[in-house]
């Protein structure tokens, strides 16, 4: 009885459950759960785990995040490969809205700890996606060791991020050998996923840090409205979207000519924990806030325009002859026009991690951006922003990470199979 | 016990008799070299553990252990995976003690542990004779419980003795000696703590930390005395707590000696000991004045390992892969502790957050597979 058919959390998935019960053991068992490339329209259904690209990148951004990075605590390649297989099997079950393991949360032997931790029992799949990435230290550790024999497979684009002006990075909130991004419309479903993956990892991995995000700050589909960040502004109006299929190939997905092979169809993730000094921001006048961002706070329209999605006119001048969108406004410095056409797919989240002991909220934006090549995209954009963005007075980058997220997992495969082939 | 079978006897650990505290080498004279019968004499010093012979016949063997070193020592016979077949604890310098143990055919290790810590000084021991059949699973489980009960018994005896020494030093006002004995006596306590905890209110009386005490209840026990020793460098006013501690420990010891345990309790006890490490020891909360947490840490892990070892034959039959994982991960924990060893004990535990995280990770890595043991044991 090694078959891992999983236990439906709500017992509502009759047809899918029957399909899966006939599957073989382990990580290959769940391909029949949903149609190819399905993008759930409502916020309760499952998002297909398998496919050409990993889910959780162009998937319409869910409302909640639990992001974690892991340090690998073993030097054994086999142990890492086994863990990736186990993780993949669990991820396929959880994204389908099922308990993990053979018995799940409550059907196992009374004397044994439950295989599944149980807090998602009764909850829908809630569009859970789990997305994995590998950091530079996975390929070569701090002492220069090629622990897993994959040093030669490190992509050239997976560079160590340079120091950006003003960076105040906490090493305990930065880096990590492996990152897993859990996004869902239900916070408990996202937390359940990371918790169970961390548990499976004990002995092979140790959680380096984790971050909760309670509200999306980007839309990744034109079907979604643009959400607001904690500055109170619409964020991600000009984001890359699911529907921009040509642009996604140019800007988001690693192409065959980019190499290495195992990254084709994948993408590079940069994570930045950006603390906002929201108390001082809140004392700033409306006109100054709008000038800093370059958009109207209410409409989200570029300054000088009426509608959020109007094209930005960087040449327009006000009555004093100054550009309506200031030279150092955030949207100008971040715009592709001033970055050699470079764009990012952003899917960041607002966070408030309590307060900082000085009576201020420990709040900000957990910035997540996917791209084809960080050397041509995030790095030059951030160098320009770090140097000149007037928003810098109100933000501080306190955590950082870069990860190579491989292409999608075909049914029967596992996370990183090509990397370890 | 009509037929001694390999599995059965290994599971039993089969210590037939622990000799009295004064030793009895005179009654069991060492065998001459070349002799294949009669007691094996063991010469234990601070750097040596030599046996008069390393081949014995299957069945009952006697080891006469003479401590010629300057440190208190222990003598063990280990089966595969450091499963304790028999042990004598707490052999002071100049003392002799006997270990009488039933050993079926197989390969073993004879181990002296001068200072009572670490891996000890090891040598091979071969037992030859009639090959024996495997026991069925029920017998293996029953033997496991009996084996672990003997372990609890041996720890309880040492606990009472070392606590008596500690209490005597406290009452004599000998601060240095008291500080030295504090972590040593707690070692025996920490190894069998889940058993002690099962006796209701004795655990808080013996082991409560200052923040554990209910309002209106007096704070007593080890940590009360620890605070005086390290914070005030004094034993003043501690006499009554010392007396009470010994009374309470003696009560626990008397109960522990007759406690009946089932295999599930062993498995859960092994898990609970690691929970203790994860929540109290890694964080440095346990011995907040003396910073001797790593002694307790090691003792908890040793106690957990003893329970798992007792279950080993049964586990081996049911989930051999789990046994391999457990062996590997127990080793990893002891290796992580090695970094902090100094002499017979440990450096004061004032680890950095990064060091604590590292220790926490190896404990988590061990605690997960240990938590699975109960389910495997319970399986029909």
Each domain of chain B, given as residue ranges in start order, spans 6-135, 151-378
- How many structural domains comprise chain A? 1
| B164 phi, psi to nearest 5 deg | -60, -45
A222 with A241: CB under 8 angstroms? yes
On the CB side of B122, how many CA atoms lie within 13 Å of its CA? 12
The per-residue pLDDT for B137 is: 73
Token pair for A256: 């065959």
State the nearest Cα–Cα gap between A310 and chain B, in angstroms: 50
Token pair for B66: 């003479």
A322 belongs to a structural domain: yes
Say whether pLDDT at B344 is over 60. Answer: yes
The vertex-A402 CA angle with A396 and A408, nearest 5°, equals 135
Alpha-carbon distance of A409 to A88, in angstroms, equals 9
Please name which of A222, A179, A174, A200 lies closest in space to residue A65, comparing C-alpha atoms.
Answer: A179
Q: Which residue has the tokens 């059949």?
A: B133
Alpha-carbon distance of B304 to B306, in angstroms, equals 5
Token pair for B38: 């009669």
Token pair for B286: 């346990």
Provide, as residue numbers in chain A, all residues whose Cβ is less than 8 Å from the Cβ of B362: 73
* B117 Rama class: left (phi>0) / alpha (psi -120 to 50) / beta: beta
State pLDDT tens for residues B295-343: 999 999 999 999 999 999 889 889 999 999 999 999 999 999 999 999 8
For residue A413, count CB atoms less than 10 angstroms from its CB and return exposed for 0-12, middle for 13-18, buried for 19 or more: middle
Name the strands in the sheet holding B121-128, side by side, starting at the edge strand that comes first in the sequence: B55-57, B121-128, B106-112, B73-79, B83-91
Gyration radius of chain A over CA positions? 22
Provide, as residue numbers in chain B, all residues whose Cβ is less than 8 Å from the Cβ of A76: none
Strands B15-18 and B55-57: unpaired
Provide, as residue numbers in chain B, all residues whose Cβ is less than 8 Å from the Cβ of A107: none
The per-residue pLDDT for B133 is: 52
Say whether pLDDT at B250 is over 90. Answer: yes
State pLDDT tens for residues B107-119: 999 999 887 766 7
Mutation target to probe the B interface, by most B beta carbons within 10 A, among A72, A111, A173 is A111
B370 with B326: CB under 8 angstroms? yes
Asked if B375 lies within 8 A of A73 by C-beta distance, the reply is: no
Query: Which among A73, A111, A206 has CB closest to B378?
Result: A111
Token pair for A161: 């991020």
| 3-state SS class at B7 | helix
State pLDDT tens for residues B129-160: 875 555 677 788 888 888 898 889 889 999 99
Alpha-carbon distance of A298 to A37, in angstroms, equals 36
Please name which of A49, A210, A50, A238 lies closest in space to residue A125, comparing C-alpha atoms.
Answer: A49
Alpha-carbon distance of B43 to A193, in angstroms, equals 57
Say whether pLDDT at B289 is over 70. Answer: yes
Token pair for A368: 């997540």
Token pair for B22: 């004064």
Asked if A202 lies within 8 A of B375 by C-beta distance, the reply is: no
The per-residue pLDDT for B196 is: 79
Strands B40-44 and B59-67: parallel
Chain-centroid distance of CA B44 in Å reads 19
Taking each continuous run of H as one helix and of E as one strand, the counts in chain A are 9, 10
Name the strands in the sheet holding B15-18, side by side, starting at the edge strand that comes first in the sequence: B15-18, B96-103, B59-67, B40-44, B49-51
Query: Which among B360, B367, B375 has CB closest to A111?
Result: B375
Please name which of A120, A121, A147 lies closest in space to residue A136, comparing C-alpha atoms.
Answer: A147
Chain A residue with Cα closest to B271: A113
Query: Which among A73, A112, A206 has CB closest to B374?
Result: A112
Asked if A109 lies within 8 A of B368 by C-beta distance, the reply is: no
Question: What are the residues whose beta carbons fall under 8 Å from the beta carbon of A346, sequence distance 6 or more?
Answer: A217, A218, A235, A236, A239, A240, A367, A368, A369
Asked if B368 lies within 8 A of A199 by C-beta distance, the reply is: yes
A15 belongs to a structural domain: no
Please name which of A70, A92, A81, A97 lies closest in space to residue A10, comparing C-alpha atoms.
Answer: A97
Q: Is the peptide bond preceding residue A345 cis, with omega within 30 degrees of 0?
A: no
Helix axes B293-318, B175-191, angle to 10 degrees: 20
| 3-state SS class at A176 | coil
Asked if A112 lies within 8 A of B376 by C-beta distance, the reply is: yes
Residue A291 per-residue DSSP state:
H
H/E stretch holding A407: none
CATH architecture of B151-378: Up-down Bundle (1.20)
Please name which of A342, A352, A343, A338 lies closest in space to residue A388, comparing C-alpha atoms.
Answer: A338
Please name which of B339, B373, B368 lies closest in space to residue B354, comparing C-alpha atoms.
Answer: B339
The per-residue pLDDT for A168 is: 94
CB atoms within 10 A of CB A315: 9
10-residue averages of pLDDT along chain A (421 residues)? 59 39 35 39 82 97 97 96 97 96 90 94 96 98 95 98 94 97 97 98 96 96 94 95 96 97 98 96 94 96 95 94 94 96 97 92 97 98 94 96 97 96 93
Out of A254-268, B3-17, B253-267, give the one with best mean pLDDT.
A254-268
Asked if A111 lies within 8 A of B371 by C-beta distance, the reply is: no
CB atoms within 10 A of CB A187: 17
Token pair for B244: 């009470």
Say whether pLDDT at B48 is over 70. Answer: yes
Token pair for B25: 């080498």
Say whether pLDDT at B35 is over 60. Answer: no
Chain-centroid distance of CA B324 in Å reads 21
Alpha-carbon distance of A289 to A283, in angstroms, equals 10
Asked if A112 lies within 8 A of B369 by C-beta distance, the reply is: no
Strands A64-72 and A205-213: antiparallel
Cross-strand bridge partners of residue A368: A271
Alpha-carbon distance of A48 to B320, in angstroms, equals 36
The per-residue pLDDT for B90 is: 76
Helix axes B222-231, B175-191, angle to 10 degrees: 150
A7 belongs to a structural domain: no
State the nearest Cα–Cα gap between A83 and chain B, in angstroms: 13
Q: Which residue has the tokens 């839309």?
A: A219
Alpha-carbon distance of B5 to A306, in angstroms, equals 90
CATH architecture of B6-135: Sandwich (2.60)
The per-residue pLDDT for B36 is: 61
- Does the CB of B262 have a partner CB in chain A at under 8 Å? no
The per-residue pLDDT for B132 is: 58
Please name which of A47, A49, A48, A53 lies closest in space to residue A254, comparing C-alpha atoms.
Answer: A53
- Model confidence, pTM: 0.80
- Does the CB of A41 have a partner CB in chain B at under 8 Å? no
Provide, as residue numbers in chain B, all residues whose Cβ is less than 8 Å from the Cβ of A112: 371-372, 374-376, 378
A80 belongs to a structural domain: yes
For B264-273, b/e burial (b = at least 16 CB within 10 A) is: bbbbbbbbbb
Q: Which residue has the tokens 């327009």?
A: A316
| A294 to A75, A283, A321, A381, B7: CA distances (angstroms) | 49, 18, 16, 17, 78
Q: Binning pLDDT at 50, 70 and 90, where does residue B254 land? A: very high
Range of the domain at A268: 50-421
Provide, as residue numbers in chain B, all residues whose Cβ is less than 8 Å from the Cβ of A113: 371-372, 374-375
B53 with B43: CB under 8 angstroms? no
């Amino acid at each position: 009885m090694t078959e891992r058919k999983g236990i439906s959390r709500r017992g509502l998935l009759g047809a899918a459950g029957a399909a899966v019960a006939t599957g073989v053991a382990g990580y290959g068992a769940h391909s029949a759960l949903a149609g190819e490339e399905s993008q759930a329209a409502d916020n309760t259904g499952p998002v297909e785990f398998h496919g050409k690209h990993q889910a959780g990148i162009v998937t319409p951004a869910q409302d909640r995040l639990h992001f974690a990075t892991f340090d690998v605590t073993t030097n054994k390649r086999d142990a890492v490969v086994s863990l990736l297989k186990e993780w993949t099997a669990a991820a396929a079950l959880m994204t389908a809205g099922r308990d993990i393991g053979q018995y799940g949360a409550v059907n196992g032997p009374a004397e044994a700890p439950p295989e599944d931790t149980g807090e998602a029992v009764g909850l829908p799949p809630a569009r859970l996606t789990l997305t994995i990435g590998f950091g530079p230290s996975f390929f070569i550790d701090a002492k220069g060791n090629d622990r897993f024999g994959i040093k030669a497979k490190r992509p050239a684009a997976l560079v160590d991020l340079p120091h950006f002006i003003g960076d105040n990075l906490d090493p305990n909130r930065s880096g990590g050998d492996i990152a897993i991004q859990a996004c869902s419309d239900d916070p408990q479903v996202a937390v359940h996923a990371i918790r169970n993956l961390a548990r499976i990892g004990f002995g092979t991995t140790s959680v380096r840090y984790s971050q909760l995000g309670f509200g999306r700050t980007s839309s990744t589909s034109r079907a979604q409205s643009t959400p607001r960040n904690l500055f109170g502004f619409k964020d991600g109006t000009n984001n890359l979207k699911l529907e921009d299929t040509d642009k996604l190939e140019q800007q988001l997905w690693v192409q065959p000519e980019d190499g290495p092979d195992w990254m084709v169809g994948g993408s590079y993730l940069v994570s930045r924990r950006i603390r906002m000094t929201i108390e001082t921001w809140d004392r700033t006048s409306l006109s100054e806030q709008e000038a800093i961002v370059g958009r109207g706070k209410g409409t989200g329209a570029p300054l000088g325009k009426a509608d959020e999605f109007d094209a930005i006119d960087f040449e327009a001048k006000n009555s004093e002859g100054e550009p309506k969108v200031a030279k150092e406004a955030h949207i100008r410095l971040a715009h592709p026009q001033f970055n050699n056409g470079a764009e990012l797919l952003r899917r960041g989240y607002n966070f408030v991690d309590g307060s900082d002991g000085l009576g201020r909220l420990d709040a900000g934006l957990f910035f997540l951006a996917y791209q084809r090549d960080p050397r041509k995209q995030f790095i030059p954009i951030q160098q320009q922003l770090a140097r000149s963005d007037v928003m810098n007075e109100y933000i501080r980058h306190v955590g950082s990470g870069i990860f190579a997220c491989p292409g999608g997992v075909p049914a029967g495969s596992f996370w990183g199979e090509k990397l370890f082939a | 016990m009509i037929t001694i079978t390999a599995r059965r006897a290994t599971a039993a650990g089969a210590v037939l008799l622990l000799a009295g505290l004064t030793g009895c080498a005179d009654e069991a004279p060492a065998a001459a070299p070349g002799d294949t019968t009669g007691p094996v004499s063991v010469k234990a010093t601070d750097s040596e553990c030599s046996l008069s012979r390393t081949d014995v016949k299957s069945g009952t063997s006697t080891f006469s252990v003479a401590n010629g070193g300057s440190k208190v020592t222990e003598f063990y016979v280990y089966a595969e995976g450091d499963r304790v077949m028999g042990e004598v604890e707490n052999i002071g310098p100049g003392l002799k003690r006997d270990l009488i143990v039933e050993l079926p055919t197989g390969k073993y290790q004879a181990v002296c542990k001068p200072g009572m810590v670490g891996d000890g000084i090891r040598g091979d021991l071969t037992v030859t004779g009639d090959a024996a059949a495997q026991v069925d699973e029920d017998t293996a489980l029953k033997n496991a419980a009996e084996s672990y009960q003997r372990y609890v018994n041996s720890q309880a005896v040492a606990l009472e003795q070392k606590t008596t020494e500690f209490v005597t030093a406290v009452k004599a006002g000998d601060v240095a000696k008291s500080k030295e004995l504090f972590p040593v006596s707690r070692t025996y306590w920490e190894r069998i703590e889940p058993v002690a905890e099962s006796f209701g209110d004795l655990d808080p009386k013996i082991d409560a930390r200052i923040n554990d005490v209910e309002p209106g209840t007096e704070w007593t026990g080890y940590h009360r005395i620890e605070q005086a020793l390290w914070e005030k460098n004094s034993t003043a006013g501690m006499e009554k707590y010392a007396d009470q501690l010994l009374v309470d420990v003696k009560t626990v010891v008397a109960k522990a000696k007759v406690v009946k345990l089932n295999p599930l309790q062993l498995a859960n006890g092994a898990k609970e000991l690691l929970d203790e490490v994860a929540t109290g020891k890694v964080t440095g909360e346990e011995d907040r004045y003396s910073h001797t947490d790593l002694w307790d840490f090691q003792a908890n892990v040793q106690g957990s390992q003893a329970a798992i070892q007792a279950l080993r034959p049964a586990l081996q039959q049911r989930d051999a892969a789990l046994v391999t994982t457990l062996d590997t991960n127990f080793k990893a924990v002891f290796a992580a502790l090695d970094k902090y060893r100094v002499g017979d004990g440990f450096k004061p535990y004032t680890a950095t957050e990064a060091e604590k995280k590292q220790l926490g990770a190896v404990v988590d890595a061990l605690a997960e597979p240990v938590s699975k043991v109960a389910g495997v044991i319970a399986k029909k």
